[in-house]
Structure 1
Amino acid sequence: MWNCTGIGMADIKLSVRQLVRESQNVLASSRDSSELCRALEDILPLLPGKKASVKDAPDMPQGEAVEEFGACHYVRFLEFLVGQFSLDWCGRFAADERQRLLDVFFLDGIHHHAFLVLCSTVKHSSPSFKQNKCLSLLEDFLLRGRMSDLIWAQCCVLSDLTDSGSQSTKHRILWEQLLTAIVTLPDRIANKVQGKCSACFFPKQYFTSLAKDLLVVLHKVHNQLKASKDCSLLFVSQLMGRICLNGHADTTFTFLLPHFVKLTAVDFLWSRVCSRVIVGTPERCLESVLDCLLKKIPWYGIMSRLLGDALLSNKKLLFLLTNKFLLLRCYNQELVPQNIIGYLADSPNRRHLVVKSLKTLLDVWGDSSAVKHTSYDQHAYLTKTILICLGHLNQQEKTQHKSVLMQKLLSGMHCHLNSPLVKVRRLGMITAEALTKTLETEGPKLSFEYVKDEESRLLLLLLVPPDDPGMDQITKDVVEMSLGEEETREEATSNQTEQEDATGQQSTPDDDLDSDDDLEPFDMSEDVKTSQVKTPVYIRDCIEGLHAKENRELTETSLKVAEKLVRSKPDYLQEVCVELMQVLLHLEDVFEIDDFTVLRHSAMVAATVQCPIQASQYWTAEFYDRNYNIRQRLDMLQVLAAAAQELSQPLEETTPSSGLQKPCRPLTRASPNPSEEAEHWRDIVQKRIKSKTRRFAKGRSTPAPTPVANRFAPVAGRFFFPLLKSFDSKMNTMDMIGDDFLLLGRMLFTLGIVVHAAQHAPICRQMAVSLLELVWVLRYHTEVFVRQALMFAVSMVILSVPSHLLVSDLQDEMLECKLWLEDIVGKDPNVECRGLAAQTLMVLGSVVQKELSAESR
């Protein structure tokens, strides 16, 4: 028993140490349950929060002894108790004794020490009773709300904070341990028990419970500040940042954000608390926090309540909201840029950042290098952000910055209109129309012709700032998110069924409804359109008809019949094929003939297939001639590619093989022949016998395929090498190395198709080597379209050249291509290029692996 009189601090320390040591000796050696209970009861008065819970030590110096026990002995005593956990030792206590004398040391002591001891034990223990007991204590720790007490205790640590508000050296290590243990607890437990744990340790349930504990702590902080008492939110901010950095921001803010919205709407002090929590997160975590908030906040006005003017004093926050989230990131949701720009424009102190961001966005948007090397999604995101900025400009800002904005627009329009992508050109047109309409409200407006679809409509809607959805809408969304998945699915299914029934009832026609018009229309389905022009029967007549520029019917009829006449293979086709291709190449659709492009292309392909030598010489020579436009050169490439593919396909056999198939007989005859009837009867019997006979070995049951000559092999080189030789030639009407990169890309695609069509020809290897040399020369081309064409060419080489040649003769070239493709996967700014490079690497690896496996066998 303790004697309070005349006891100094040194004696108290000695007495506490002696009591703890004696109790540990009893707990470690005794097998009597009553002795064990008495040993724990002697220590229990020293436990913080249990000062008056034991009547056996009324004269104990509670204050100094409890402080001494908590500072010097509590952690070691918990570690000692954990070391004693076993089925035999814990079985000596009754259930109520375990809760009253044993569990209380972990649940009602110093919470952060107890939590760290339990987490450390679970981490370093193997599956056993000790591990299960610690998991059970951790579960009780969470369910009884001890986590909120732990966090609140850290908020009350003010004496150990420096003048700048950061934690001192004394608490830096402790806080780091706590933050790591709290955030990684579900992962650590899952790794230890392999999923056989309580549901409260599942990530979603755990972090939802942790969000509730954080809200409880914030309410306590609010009450403390309201009572004019000091409090710190540093630990809460760091914990929030670590949670978001570890990927659990969505779960946490799904619970917290609706409460933040409601609380900040009525109390300015709550806005200060929320702002301090969010902005006070570490710099490395701030991006993860803001990323989730920007996606979840339904209206930019809430951003103003949560952040205030913290943007002006926090450089990291300023950089993220005005630079990284607008220029370097890409979001599919329009809500993100709307929240950012709306937040900047919502206060007079921040409005200057809207104009500054708009100028920066226009500089990046109009940069020619950015237009070429960024993906379409990224560029569309920049366009959306620019339109949102325009919607927030007031009249004074429009007048003051009109000339600068118009100058930036004009410099950017040139890059967009020169882009080979239709979507990029349309983005430039929409932006130009919107900017001139915003800045020139009364003057003439720009107007472009582009396809009006859902995307363009949504872009124009961004010019109008969104309205406040109101508290009811936010509350409604929260309720919907809290519904179970099965209930939501059942409601959606029932609603869909009701809508389908209603639609079916509305769309059911009335059978008894009579028409006001009793006249029946004539059947004109079999009517044939008559023409006064005679259809050409010879190719020369067809060429003359194509020359008839003033006779629509003759030109249309000649064009429709051109392919048929060419494929009929007349004897004089080789004499007129070049003239026919020349007429078709220069033919223009002045009469707006239906399917003009398809008919013209088909006729040119047919002529190339029937006369491959003359046609290939003509196309490859004319491709590098001066007197053609881009469209005509693209037509030449398309014809060469289509003809090569058709020539590489075998012709269909129309004559049946003798002795393998007999002609079919009619089932009835006017005068049957007895010999034929007998033969027919024998065939039927023979088929039945064959179907009932089981053979263990037999020859070929189906006829062997008839070998057919490869039509493309003799002329493959004529399609390939003349087209390849002058790719770097520069002339006034074509510069493929320069501005006409579209032609270069199409030529690479054509060369790849030609190589693939010649895969069974002996010349294929030589063509592949030449094509790989060209790829190596152009591998660092700045245009995305050219790089994609280069990867297509490499893939065609891999698929066309025999695999044994790839690993032997072309081993060096394939290794260089592999390194180049890996460099594209890791460094190319375009998403599609990276994907194509990865696919090409997979094809190369599959072919090489298959060949190596075949050699090993």
Structure 2
Amino acid sequence: MTLVRNAEMQRLQAFVDARKRSIEAAEDRYDVQAAVTELRELAAPLHSPDRFPSSWKNLYLEYFYRDVAAFLLHFVAVHLEICFTQQDRDQGFDVLFDREVVPSSRAIGALASKLSATNTRTAATNRTTEEDAGASITQCVRLLEKIVTTGGVQDIVTEMLIQEQQSISNGQSVIGYQVLISQLSSLPDLVYNRRQRDTPAVFLPRRYFPMLCDALFRGLSEQEFPVGQSRTFRVFADKLVRIGQAQVLVQSWLRSITTSSLTMHSTLFQSLPESCHEQILLHLSREKTPSTLTAQQALSLSKYRLLAQIPPELCASKQLQYVVAHKLLLRKSIDDFFFWRVLVDVMVQYGGHPCQSPLAAVFDVVLTRWSQSDFAVNTEYTVNAAVCFFLRYSLQKLSKDGGESFMQQDWITKLCKGVQDHMGHSIERVRALGMRVGESLSHIIASEQPLDFGLKDEDPVEIYGCPVLPEELEKGIANLNLDAQEESLEQSTSGTSGDKEKRRRRKNSKKRLNKPFTLDPDELVLSDEDEANASDSDAESESSFDSADSDSDLSLEAYDLEDDEEDLTAKRPLYLKDLITSLLADDDREKTEVALNEAESLIRRQPRDLKDKAHEVVRALLRLEDKYNTPQFVSLRSQALATACTLAPTQTLPYLTSQALEREQLLQSRIDVLQAMTSAAQELSERGGYQHPKTPKTLLNEQVQSDLKTRTMQSLKTRRWGYRRDPLAGPKRNAFAPYALQFFSPLLFGYVDYVRKHSATPEKARSEVEQTFLAHLLHALASFVECAGHAPQTIAMAKCLLEFAWSERSSTNAEVRRQVLFSLSRVLLVVPPTLLRQEVGEALAEVAPWLRQVQNHDPDAGCREAAQLLSSFAPVPTASLSLM
């Protein structure tokens, strides 16, 4: 048999070589018609196999097709194709790539390999070679476009599925999946890198990948599925997720749910590689759904019907449980509660008792994290709300037997701890989450008298977790399918005109981005030199596929490597984005502490993106809590805040002011903000602790010789010997002056609005917390007036401060009265007496008597001492102020 096969191959080789020589001879004679005739004869074993031995077509495709295709694209496309008529081109050139004659997988493989191997960058002097390469590329792209638009991709998918079914029935494995799927996935990048702006529309990613995914699911729905897994879908899904097309895969999957059986979708979920679970579930959760649907209508949508087909065996996988708990629920902001409801319903079905199901394992992991003290403080509200809904809905499923098995677990203690932490939070909506979980827990441990906190908002469990009967769900699916058919009919009638309009707009568009795609690094390309070894490589890939465990991505051999654990040591952040990430790393103590120690020095280096990142840096610093008892935590954070405010005041002041006047913020955090703003103002104006010391002039450091003569001659010189005569320092601009009003006005008038908004009655006494904050506010405002110096806006700021402070002179809090006196002293310090009389007026009855009264009768020693100092200030007795 081998001898017969070798003889046939030799005859076929001679036939192909003779036709090639005839075509080359016809081109030398400029005989186009003779060349076309020889081309038809060269393709005759494919389109007319009856004229030749029965084995010739298979041998031709297996051993000679790539060589013939390379000859056509390298020689015929360059020298003869331009002279062909359309009929000659179809019968002599395109027939070798016709899907009716040659399998699309072989045609696309040959064209893609030739397109990758063709080099368009040649020397400037070799212009002919460059033009020849351009002609070959043009024909490759034209033929690829023709194959894809006529259904070649669908043919390849169907061919792969049929081959998979045959390999399963015969006990053989499928070879070449990775190479072929890699070529299909890289076609848009490959074509764009060769044609740039002339890329056909069919190869644009937004059109090509939906077509590829639709062909995949169309082929899957037409095949009979095995009980286990689909290797074709597994390889496709792995490739599409790795190149960033997971969303397209999910959308195509949702479109196919109405045209295929539910068993197929369960098999496809089972076929997914473990590395794809996170992306598939994430993009599935982000699919848009109407927000006004009832539970019955929502659960009838394709999104949730597909999610409900996750097989119980997959739910039992530790990898999927880890993805659901750590990658999605505790990290991603997914506010689709129907998504979490369907996941809970799917995970609770596996096993006998609910407390032994995969849901119990995920519930335990999520509850352990939710009950930690820092969860309520450091977690985004959207994530926290999703976790609370998951816990509450899971409580209903896990306690269906009356809570007996639930009581045996250690979950109640964790739930109580988490409820306590959430109810002690400063933000009301976070406290409401803890109350909701407490109400659900009370239905288990005290079902006779459950808790009711009287929350006004609608309960998410009642909206998204209400029971839906299977009969109602089937009815909703039927109504949904009917509506979908009506919409498809409407779209089909208007689709033609809409497509024409889109084509016209796209054709007239002149603003196209010339951004080249990147070649797929996983693509395997066969060059002309490798074609002779194609059969050997196929055999090797077959043997490797047989020996590898294709159903597992973790079947690689492990190596013992020494690790000095240097990579575990936290590194100093070098950029602001690294600093922000490290400050937000709640669970990494070392990383957070290193970032806090480095924050001030990194900000003082003034990176280029400081103006853009300053707001995020300040927000991260204020969000930071001293849960690890970090040494010098308060001073390090205050210095970093003040530095950020100093170097980027315009970007940080609005946020700092809003946080200082935020009622639900902790008092210490509000005081820290005021102190940071004060420090920033003093540094900009070089006052306070940031004032440069003015030391006296010092003697020069020259060494004086010890002999008598030298000492005598130096003593006879002027008494000014040894002093450096520095020139007078030039005037220096106050850097705080341009920002004085940005510091002062929003804080003062914002506090006035704050008092008006939150005070029920004007006569009601302030709380101790508000009195303390008011004292720090007065101190900050007075410091701003002092730092403004002699700026034009200083007079207006001083008048506003004086009026505001004078209204608080009768406060019952000693700290507030001290700051009133301090504010008065700052006004008298920066405003000249004459100008103060002009601005305030001649009403002279209030300040001096009040100072004497405070000096003699105030119960606070600090106030009496301050009033005594102010009474000795010259302008006060002579320029009393009427501020009532």
Structure 2-normalised TM-score?
0.50
Q: Paired residue for 1:214?
A: 216
Is 1:380 matched with 2:385? yes
C-alpha contact 1:211 1:255 (8 A) present in aligned 2? yes
Percent of paired sites with the same residue: 16
Which amino acid counterpart does residue 41 of structure 2 have in structure 1? D
> Structure 1 residues 152 and 289 mapped into 2: Cα distance closer, same or farther (>3 Å)?
same
- For 2:451, which of 446, 451, 458 is the aligned residue? 446
Q: Paired residue for 1:396?
A: 401
- For 1:14, which of 10, 16, 30 is the aligned residue? 10
* Structure 2 stretches lacking a partner, 5+ long: 121-132, 290-297, 499-754, 803-818, 831-884
Q: Paired residue for 2:269?
A: 278
C-alpha contact 1:261 1:302 (8 A) present in aligned 2? no
In the TM superposition, what whole-angstrom CA distance separates every residue of 1:517-561 from its partner, at most 9, and x where no partner exists?
Answer: xxxxxxxxxxxxxxxxxxxxxxxxxxxxxxxxxxxxxxxxxxxxx
* Cα drift, residue 291 of structure 1: 2.7
Q: Paired residue for 1:61?
A: 53
C-alpha contact 2:202 2:208 (8 A) present in aligned 1? yes
Q: Paired residue for 2:109?
A: 116
* Cα drift, residue 14 of structure 1: 1.0
Any residues of structure 2 matched to 1:494-509 within 5 Å, and which?
A: none
C-alpha contact 2:385 2:433 (8 A) present in aligned 1? yes
In the TM superposition, what whole-angstrom CA distance separates every residue of 1:88-118 from its partner, at most 9, and x where no partner exists?
Answer: 5113333123223321212332432321232
Q: Paired residue for 1:246?
A: 243
C-alpha contact 1:294 1:339 (8 A) present in aligned 2? no
In the TM superposition, what whole-angstrom CA distance separates every residue of 1:57-84 from its partner, at most 9, and x where no partner exists?
Answer: x3x2122x22322222111221221112
Matched residues in 2 for 1:397 and 1:188: separation?
Answer: 62
- For 1:192, which of 194, 202, 205 is the aligned residue? 194
Q: Secondary structure at the match of 2:366?
A: helix
Matched residues in 2 for 1:12 and 1:470: separation?
Answer: 60
Which amino acid counterpart does residue 310 of structure 1 have in structure 2? E
Q: Paired residue for 1:795?
A: none
Is 1:637 matched with 2:644? no
How many residues align? The count is 514
- For 1:83, which of 74, 79, 82 is the aligned residue? 74
Q: Paired residue for 1:512?
A: none
C-alpha contact 2:788 2:794 (8 A) present in aligned 1? no
> Structure 1 residues 75 and 641 mapped into 2: Cα distance closer, same or farther (>3 Å)?
same
> Structure 1 residues 6 and 403 mapped into 2: Cα distance closer, same or farther (>3 Å)?
closer
In the TM superposition, what whole-angstrom CA distance separates every residue of 1:327-354 from its partner, at most 9, and x where no partner exists?
Answer: 3433122232122112123455594223
Which amino acid counterpart does residue 23 of structure 2 have in structure 1? L
> Structure 1 residues 371 and 234 mapped into 2: Cα distance closer, same or farther (>3 Å)?
same
Q: Paired residue for 2:417?
A: 411
Any residues of structure 2 matched to 1:638-717 within 5 Å, and which?
A: 638-642=777-781, 644=783
* Structure 1 stretches lacking a partner, 5+ long: 53-57, 266-270, 492-591, 605-627, 653-704, 716-749, 762-857
Matched residues in 1 for 2:492 and 2:433: separation?
Answer: 39
Is 1:92 matched with 2:88? no
Matched residues in 1 for 2:209 and 2:328: separation?
Answer: 26
Matched residues in 2 for 1:428 and 1:6: separation?
Answer: 78
Matched residues in 2 for 1:177 and 1:6: separation?
Answer: 29
Q: Secondary structure at the match of 2:336?
A: coil
Matched residues in 2 for 1:165 and 1:313: separation?
Answer: 28
Q: Paired residue for 1:723?
A: none
> Structure 1 residues 460 and 595 mapped into 2: Cα distance closer, same or farther (>3 Å)?
same
Matched residues in 1 for 2:190 and 2:761: separation?
Answer: 64
> Structure 1 residues 427 and 643 mapped into 2: Cα distance closer, same or farther (>3 Å)?
farther
Which amino acid counterpart does residue 231 of structure 2 have in structure 1? L
Q: Paired residue for 2:26?
A: 30
Any residues of structure 2 matched to 1:427-826 within 5 Å, and which?
A: 427-437=433-443, 440-441=446-447, 443-448=448-453, 452-453=456-457, 457-458=459-460, 460-465=462-467, 468=473, 469-473=476-480, 476=483, 596=759, 630=769, 632-642=771-781, 644=783
Which amino acid counterpart does residue 250 of structure 1 have in structure 2? Q
* Cα drift, residue 412 of structure 1: 1.3
Which amino acid counterpart does residue 62 of structure 1 have in structure 2? S
Matched residues in 1 for 2:195 and 2:238: separation?
Answer: 27
C-alpha contact 1:208 1:252 (8 A) present in aligned 2? yes
> Structure 1 residues 484 and 158 mapped into 2: Cα distance closer, same or farther (>3 Å)?
closer
RMSD of the TM alignment (CA)? 4.7
Q: Paired residue for 1:144?
A: 150
Which amino acid counterpart does residue 12 of structure 2 have in structure 1? V
Matched residues in 1 for 2:481 and 2:368: separation?
Answer: 37
* Cα drift, residue 206 of structure 1: 1.6
* Cα drift, residue 180 of structure 1: 2.2
In the TM superposition, what whole-angstrom CA distance separates every residue of 1:663-721 from its partner, at most 9, and x where no partner exists?
Answer: xxxxxxxxxxxxxxxxxxxxxxxxxxxxxxxxxxxxxxxxxx69859859x99xxxxxx
C-alpha contact 1:155 1:236 (8 A) present in aligned 2? no
Any residues of structure 2 matched to 1:161-200 within 5 Å, and which?
A: 171=175, 174-200=176-202
Q: Secondary structure at the match of 2:449?
A: coil
Q: Paired residue for 2:203?
A: 201
* Cα drift, residue 148 of structure 1: 1.9
Q: Paired residue for 1:233?
A: 230
Q: Secondary structure at the match of 2:105?
A: helix
Q: Secondary structure at the match of 1:91?
A: helix
Q: Paired residue for 2:335?
A: 332
Which amino acid counterpart does residue 775 of structure 2 have in structure 1? M
> Structure 1 residues 231 and 457 mapped into 2: Cα distance closer, same or farther (>3 Å)?
closer
Which amino acid counterpart does residue 268 of structure 2 have in structure 1? V
> Structure 1 residues 460 and 209 mapped into 2: Cα distance closer, same or farther (>3 Å)?
same
Which amino acid counterpart does residue 479 of structure 2 have in structure 1? D
Q: Paired residue for 1:129?
A: 135
Matched residues in 2 for 1:707 and 1:635: separation?
Answer: 22
> Structure 1 residues 314 and 249 mapped into 2: Cα distance closer, same or farther (>3 Å)?
same
Matched residues in 2 for 1:292 and 1:235: separation?
Answer: 21
Matched residues in 2 for 1:409 and 1:231: separation?
Answer: 40
Matched residues in 1 for 2:370 and 2:247: separation?
Answer: 31
> Structure 1 residues 6 and 79 mapped into 2: Cα distance closer, same or farther (>3 Å)?
closer
> Structure 1 residues 160 and 377 mapped into 2: Cα distance closer, same or farther (>3 Å)?
same
Q: Secondary structure at the match of 1:46?
A: helix
Matched residues in 2 for 1:593 and 1:98: separation?
Answer: 85
Q: Secondary structure at the match of 2:84?
A: coil
Matched residues in 2 for 1:339 and 1:99: separation?
Answer: 54
Q: Paired residue for 1:587?
A: none
> Structure 1 residues 594 and 422 mapped into 2: Cα distance closer, same or farther (>3 Å)?
closer
> Structure 1 residues 245 and 28 mapped into 2: Cα distance closer, same or farther (>3 Å)?
same
In the TM superposition, what whole-angstrom CA distance separates every residue of 1:554-577 from its partner, at most 9, and x where no partner exists?
Answer: xxxxxxxxxxxxxxxxxxxxxxxx
Greater relative contact order: 1 or 2 (C-alpha under 8 angstroms, separation 6 or more)?
A: 2
Matched residues in 1 for 2:147 and 2:346: separation?
Answer: 40
* Cα drift, residue 146 of structure 1: 1.6
Is 1:287 matched with 2:287? no
Matched residues in 2 for 1:261 and 1:349: separation?
Answer: 31
Q: Secondary structure at the match of 1:103?
A: helix
C-alpha contact 2:112 2:183 (8 A) present in aligned 1? yes
C-alpha contact 1:250 1:292 (8 A) present in aligned 2? yes
In the TM superposition, what whole-angstrom CA distance separates every residue of 1:253-307 from its partner, at most 9, and x where no partner exists?
Answer: 4343243245325xxxxx1x33333322332223222333445595387347633
Q: Paired residue for 2:314?
A: 311
* Cα drift, residue 396 of structure 1: 0.5
> Structure 1 residues 146 and 323 mapped into 2: Cα distance closer, same or farther (>3 Å)?
same
Matched residues in 2 for 1:631 and 1:302: separation?
Answer: 54
> Structure 1 residues 256 and 709 mapped into 2: Cα distance closer, same or farther (>3 Å)?
closer
